[in-house]
Amino acid sequence: MKHPTTKIVIIDYHGGNLASAQMAIAFACHQINIKVDILISDNPQDIMEADKIILPGQGAFKDCMQGISQTKNIHQALNYSVSRGTPFLGICVGMQIMAEKGLEHDVTLGLGWIEGEVRKMKTHLPLPQMGWNELHFKKGCHPILEGVEPNSHAYFVHSYALTHENKKDVLATTDYEMDIPAIVAKDNKIGTQFHVEKSQSVGLKIISNFLLWQPSLS
């Protein structure tokens, strides 16, 4: 009996670090022994046919949203797929644009999937926050964190963070002289402020959990 192939689409909006994400996903698939087809694409049809969607964001909130909105109807295809229940993972700025708006350089509307806005971090520490930091969460809070221990370290690179968020959407935080949402989740949508593809064993475990995750929209 043949096992079905999972179609994973990494959205190409001509602005993210796609190759490292693709390599990390392929390695995670090998670890959990699932058959996948990993496609980097800006084709709306590919997005609508995907079993899992991953958006690695890099750079500014405004640039990321412009790339999503101006490239071959990606925005519409993304909303269509997510509304039908396709699991979505946003990485770094890919997580930030899940919010209602971003205030980097200008006011830019986000995807509006979760409450809150993305603002420059208020801290006396150097910006961007760059390097390893702890993840604070309650063990067993969500399947995406299964097998990950509280206070594990992940790799962050950012100067802006989600604020005015709904606490129910926040799975994990990190401390950088202030509590920063590090993982958000709502229905079939997950976002990580840190780079899962650069977070070694912790990141690979989270990617693996996402690939195996079967969320419910109920």
Q: Are 8 and 52 in contact (CB under 8 A)?
A: yes
pTM above the 0.85 mark?
Answer: yes
Pairwise CA distance, residues 193 & 178, whole Å: 14
Is residue 188, in this structure, part of any structural domain at all?
A: yes
96 is a domain residue: yes
Share of the chain above pLDDT 70, in %: 97
99, part of any domain: yes
Percent of the chain residues past pLDDT 90, beyond the cut: 83
Task: Confirm whether 175 is domain-assigned.
Answer: yes
CATH number at residue 96: 3.40.50.880
Active site positions, annotated: 92, 195, 197
Domain that holds residue 97: 6-212
| Domain-embedded: residue 56 | yes
**One-letter-per-residue 3-state SS of the chain:** CCCCCEEEEEECCCCCCHHHHHHHHHHHHHHHCCCEEEEEECCHHHHHHCCEEEEEECCCHHHHHHHHHHCCCHHHHHHHHHHCCCCEEEEEHHHHCCCCEECCCCCEECCCCCCCEEEECCCCCCCCEEEEEECECCCCCCHHHCCCCCCCEEEEEECEEEECCCHHHEEEEEECCCEEEEEEEECCEEEECCCHHHCHHHHHHHHHHHHHCCCCCC
> According to the model, what pLDDT value does residue 1 have?
40
Mean pLDDT over each residue of the chain, to the nearest integer? 93
Instruction: Check if the beta carbon of residue 212 is closer than 8 Å to that of residue 35.
Output: no
Q: Let me know if residue 37 belongs to a domain.
A: yes
Give the tens place of pLDDT for each residue, 158-217.
999 999 999 999 999 999 999 999 999 999 999 999 999 999 999 999 999 999 999 876
- Whether pLDDT at 15 is above 80: no
Residues 16-37: tens digit of each pLDDT: 678 899 999 999 999 999 999 9
Q: Sign (positive/negative) of CA torsion 148, 169, 116, 41?
A: positive
Is there a domain that residue 1 lies in? no
If you average pLDDT over residues 61-72, what whole number do you get?
A: 88
For residues 92-100, average pLDDT = 96
pLDDT band for 3, please (50, 70, 90 cuts): low
Q: What is the pLDDT of residue 120?
A: 96
Give me the number of domains the chain comprises. 1
| Rg value, the chain, Cα | 16
Residue 218, domain member (yes or no): no
- Which tens digit of pLDDT belongs to each residue from 48-62? 999 999 999 888 999
User: What is residue 217's predicted lDDT score, i.e. its pLDDT?
Assistant: 62
